[in-house]
Amino acid sequence: MRFFKLSWKNLFRRKTRTALTLAGVAASAAVLVSLLGFNNGYQNALEEDVDRLGYQMLVTAKGCPYEAATMMLSGSADLRYMNAETAQIIMDDPRVDKSMPQLIHASYDPEREATGIYMGVTNAYRELKPWMEFKEGEWLTPGAADEVVLGYEAAELDQRSPGDYILVHGTNETLKVVGIFERSGSQDDAIAFVRMETLQRIFPRLENKLTGIGVKLKELDATSAFEADLYEIPDIQVVTMARVKQTIMGLVSSARILVMSVAAIALIVAAVGVINTILMSVFERTQEIGIMKAMGASKADIFRLIWSETTLICAGGGFIGCAFALAAAQIVESLVRNALSYAPNGPIISITVGLMAACAAGAVLLGMAAGLYPAARAASMRPIEAIRKGT
């Protein structure tokens, strides 16, 4: 304790130099905390975004998904479908937590020269996507066959409100609009949602058919094994969200290596700065160290004294840097968000207490490492030479 007091007083002898060194360490610590915070936050936010899709994998009939999408949008009747029996096998698997069968049908109306995209769903849609909020109205009434809920853009296009009726494209069927979703920013905005049975009744050739099933598993770890098992079933293909995530994270990780390198360089620069400052101060105090030895200070005493100074300066810089990073997190967040081509919705800089504690501890360790050489140098000075050099 006394050593720290003496070291503390020594640091105040050259206030400007100490302040500048402290600022250097603090800046490095702030950069480190921000970068690690970004590392954590970005990954979490991205995962959250993918998780908001509601399901971890989408099982569809075999074929090129782009081709299928094009055919759907152009109103072709030749979409590939999976049959209800195959779907049932998947939905009955004990590893499945929730499943959402979906039947997508694009219907072209030659009179209106427009295509409507309809999705036949069950109540599972609401369970898997509970965050889809209603701008107006509500979800499909149980048992009511002729109702429709419109995505935000679908409603805008036809200028519909709850209570209005819509004419199903290419047919004479009408459906009552019961709800309109808020904008979600996803593909669901352009879709008209009806009950599976309703869609199959209006388009009888879709009976017993599905476009795909969104699947949420009980255990996330089981994704790969489940996916492998699914490929045993003929004529289906699986798109896992884990793979989507992997692709995005792959892009992120190359950027991450770059930022971590910057952080490492910042730390090295800080450490060299601290070594330089303390060494300079040791040389300036050569005579003083000699006098202390004449007063009975041992090598270990001098080592501890100088080592404490370095540790104190780094610990101080670490704490200031952490506090600064926390205070500036919002500003850094908006800067990073503007710089990124794809930024997830959640907070992308996540500075936790654990992260700050780790960085502060890292700064103390850095100080201890940086202090070794100056402290050893000071401790090894011979008293008479130290006294003489100073005169």
Shortest reach from residue 353's CB to other proteins, in Å: 36
CB neighbours (10 Å) of residue 33?
30
CB burial of residue 177 (10 Å; 0-12, 13-18, 19+)? buried
Give the nearer residue to other proteins in terms of CB position, either 15 or 234.
15
Helix (H) or strand (E) holding 157: helix 152-158
Q: Between residues 23 and 291, which has the closer beta carbon with respect to other proteins?
A: 291
Query: Which CB sits closer to other proteins, 3 or 231?
Result: 3
Task: Provide, rounded to whole angstroms, the least separation between the CB of residue 387 and other proteins.
Answer: 7
> In angstroms, rounded to a whole number, what is the distance separating the alpha carbons of residues 216 and 56?
5
CB closer to other proteins, 162 vs 383: 383
Q: Which is nearer to other proteins, 93 or 385 (CB)?
A: 385
Smaller CB distance to other proteins: residue 109 or 288? 288
How far apart are CB 288 and other proteins at their closest, in Å? 7
* Closest to other proteins by CB, 13 or 95: 13
Query: What are the tokens at 47?
Result: 């995962």
CB 219 within 8 A of CB 66: no
Find the shortest distance in angstroms from Cβ 16 to other proteins: 15
Residues near other proteins (CB under 8 A) are: 2, 6, 9-10, 12-13, 287-288, 291-299, 301, 382-384, 387, 391
CB of 294 to other proteins, least distance (A): 5
Distance in Å, CB of 380 to other proteins, minimum:
9
244's CB contacts (< 8 A; 6+ apart) are 50
CB of 26 to other proteins, least distance (A): 23
Strands 174-181 and 147-150, by their bridges, are parallel
DSSP string, 35-71: HHHHHHHHHHHHHHHHHTTS-SEEEEESS-HHHHHHH
